[in-house]
């Protein structure tokens, strides 16, 4: 894909994440790896007004928030950059504020093995990262910890992050994550879930579903 293709793809997925009901307003952001750089949505611009040239470009080697483009990058550029840097298998990141993920994250709950599809996130749970103010290095550090051996996490009192080898893969995980969060939330309401055992999850992994982490091609 050319850089222009990727910029267009980012905008298309911003619109899709709101249409899919996993985000609202401009509360989410998306980044895609492009060689030694990262393309990332600009901060606070309604997605239906975004033009390809508005997508900010940042060096993966940078630390000071320097960017190229007419508009400043997402206020969450720090964790996007740190994930890309520390996880070479990640090609794209989708950050949203989905209702059920965020409800669980407000209750500071991780998502356990309530459904075998949890395997697509790399293990038998999706952790909730500790709270820190949005856009900070501390939030980024908490996110990296929660993402260890995982391709997604919740963010306490904030939202969710899903990663993938490309944008379609990360977007797929973002939708699956909110789906499982909704199912888990509903099970909590009707008496509590019966969780899968470690043995049952092992059988799921043995079939090849999510045997690894974000790098897997499990579409």
Q: Which residues are catalytic?
A: 76
Q: Counting contacts by CB under 6 A, is residue 102 touching ligand 13P?
A: no
The site map against ligand 13P for 158-197 (x = CB under 6 A) is ----------------------------------------
According to DSSP, residue 38 is labeled E
Rounded to an integer, what is the distance from CA 131 to the centroid of its chain? Answer: 16
Stretches 69-77, 141-149, 189-197, 201-209: which one binds ligand 13P (CB under 6 A)?
Answer: 69-77
Say how far apart CA 102 and CA 132 lie, in whole Å: 15
C-alpha triplet 195, 202, 103: angle, nearest 5°? 35
Out of 63, 75, 86, 211, the only residue in the binding site for ligand 13P (CB under 6 A) is 75
Say how far apart CA 81 and CA 37 lie, in whole Å: 9
- Dihedral of the CA atoms 164, 104, 143, 125 (nearest 10)? -60
Stretches 22-30, 105-113, 125-133, 191-199: which one binds ligand 13P (CB under 6 A)?
Answer: 22-30
Contact footprint for ligand 13P (CB under 6 A) = 26-29, 41, 43-44, 74-76, 95, 134
């Amino acid at each position: 894909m050319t850089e222009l293709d990727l910029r267009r793809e980012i905008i298309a997925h911003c619109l899709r994440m709101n249409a899919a009901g996993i985000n609202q307003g401009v509360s989410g952001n998306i980044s895609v790896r492009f060689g030694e750089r990262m393309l990332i949505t600009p901060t606070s611009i309604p997605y239906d007004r975004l033009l390809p040239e508005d997508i900010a470009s940042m060096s993966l080697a940078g630390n000071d928030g320097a960017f190229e483009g007419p508009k400043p990058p997402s206020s969450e550029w720090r964790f996007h950059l740190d994930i890309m840097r520390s996880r070479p298998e990640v090609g794209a990141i989708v950050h949203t504020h989905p209702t059920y993920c965020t409800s669980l994250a407000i209750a500071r709950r991780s998502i356990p093995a309530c459904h075998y599809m949890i395997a697509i996130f790399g293990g038998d749970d999706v952790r909730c990262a500790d709270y820190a103010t949005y856009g900070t290095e501390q939030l980024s550090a908490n996110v990296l910890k929660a993402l260890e051996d995982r391709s997604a996490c919740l963010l306490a009192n904030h939202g969710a992050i899903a990663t993938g080898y490309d944008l379609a893969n990360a977007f797929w995980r973002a939708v699956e994550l909110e789906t499982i969060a909704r199912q888990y939330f509903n099970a909590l309401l009707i008496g509590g879930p019966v969780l899968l055992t470690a043995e049952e999850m092992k059988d799921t992994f043995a079939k090849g579903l999510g045997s690894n982490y974000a790098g897997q091609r499990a579409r």
